[in-house]
Every structure is written in structure tokens, then in C-alpha cells.
């Protein structure tokens, strides 16, 4: 990784820093110069909570070059509490315990070794959220949803027509 890119992306890799559009209020991750919703300039920094839930996941058994020592590992699409979907590796959880809707929280961990000298590259991964309430799920078998909401966050969008069709086809 180049030094310039390393320093330019530290906020989004270590703190989930993105942006929020000052025009439409849409939280954006990763940061962009233009809002994908209203196409206006969006450069207002926003730090996400790091809390979310598993939207989809897959276990990687044949990893790409440089990630062989981590295999098998689980990668997930995580819907952040504020709305955006991010792709990240899951950690501190067995493959069999992962389920869609599982509450997760961001942690900073080693992502890979880079270059001949083996420089360690850190970034975000997600682990199962630790129950903090008496009514929180005690095991991965119980469904859970992110209950934390963020003011001015866009409303949750329902399932797409394709998701509804797939669910009814498998039922």
C-alpha cells in the first residue's frame, strides 16, 4: 500500500469515517465527493457507530493470494445502524454460528501482510455484538436486530422484489 493512500484512508479503515450529505442527509460509506442519492457535493465528515447486523455472508475456503493463512474465513455484507452496507470479514465467531440478522460491532484487526517485509495492514472487521441488555439474545440461534437508531438517518428500505421472490421460492 502506498504511503499517501495509507494516510488518506486511515479514518475509514480505523473509525468507519464516511460522510453525510448536507443536502439530503444520506450517510455515505466509503466517503465520496458526490452523494449517490441526490448527486450533489457531499464532503461533511461523519463517523459511523460501528454497530450493525449481518445482511448476507459467505465463507471463503479458497482465498486469494496473500490471505491463505486466514482461510477459511467468513465475509459479510453488514448493514450499519445508520443505513449503508459495508463488506467486511467476520472475526471471533465460528462459521456455524453466523446468521442473517446477527448483531455485530466493528473492531480493528490485522487484515493482511503487505510487501516483502511483511508490513501488517490493519482495518475494520466485525464480531458478534456482546449482549448488553437482559432481553438481548443469549445465543446465535435467537434472531436479533439492531435497535439503535441515528437521528436524521434515512428510513430502512424493505426487501427488494428479487429478495421476496427468492424467499418465497425457498419456502
What's the pTM value of the predicted model, to 2 decimals? 0.66
Q: What is the CATH number of domain 49-130?
A: 2.40.50
Q: Which residues contact 42 (CB under 8 A, 6 or more apart)?
A: 19, 20, 21, 22, 23, 26, 28, 32, 33, 34, 35
The closest alpha carbon to 40, from 48, 52, 28, belongs to 28
Task: Read off the pLDDT of each residue in 130-135 and give the average, rounded to a whole number.
Answer: 56
The closest alpha carbon to 30, from 85, 72, 78, 79, belongs to 85
Q: How many CB atoms lie within 10 A of CB 143?
A: 12
Do 74 and 59 touch, CB atoms closer than 8 A? yes
Confidence check: pLDDT of 135 > 80: no
Do 163 and 55 touch, CB atoms closer than 8 A? no
**Per-domain residue ranges for the chain?**
1-47, 49-130
Measured over the CA atoms of residue 9, residue 15, residue 18 and residue 20, the dihedral's sign is negative
Q: pLDDT per residue over 68-110, tens digit each?
A: 888 899 999 999 999 999 999 999 999 899 999 999 999 988 7
Do 122 and 111 touch, CB atoms closer than 8 A? yes
Least confident of 4-13, 80-89, 105-114, 137-146: 137-146
Amino acid at each position: 500500500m502506498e504511503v499517501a493512500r495509507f494516510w488518506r484512508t486511515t479514518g475509514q479503515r480505523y473509525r468507519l469515517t464516511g460522510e453525510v450529505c448536507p443536502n439530503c442527509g444520506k450517510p455515505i460509506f466509503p466517503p465520496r465527493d458526490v452523494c449517490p442519492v441526490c448527486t450533489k457535493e457531499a464532503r461533511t465528515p461523519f463517523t459511523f457507530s460501528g454497530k450493525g447486523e449481518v445482511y448476507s455472508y459467505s465463507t471463503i475456503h479458497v482465498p486469494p493470494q496473500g490471505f491463505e493463512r486466514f482461510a477459511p474465513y467468513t465475509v459479510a455484507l453488514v448493514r450499519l445502524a445508520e443505513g449503508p452496507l459495508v463488506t467486511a470479514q467476520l472475526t471471533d465467531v465460528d462459521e456455524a454460528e453466523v446468521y442473517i440478522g446477527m448483531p455485530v460491532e466493528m473492531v480493528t484487526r490485522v487484515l493482511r501482510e503487505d510487501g516483502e517485509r511483511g508490513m501488517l495492514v490493519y482495518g475494520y472487521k466485525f464480531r458478534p455484538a456482546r449482549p448488553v441488555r437482559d432481553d438481548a439474545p443469549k445465543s446465535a440461534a435467537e434472531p436479533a436486530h439492531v435497535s439503535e437508531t441515528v437521528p436524521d438517518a434515512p428510513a430502512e428500505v424493505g426487501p427488494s422484489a428479487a429478495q421476496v421472490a427468492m424467499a418465497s421460492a425457498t419456502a
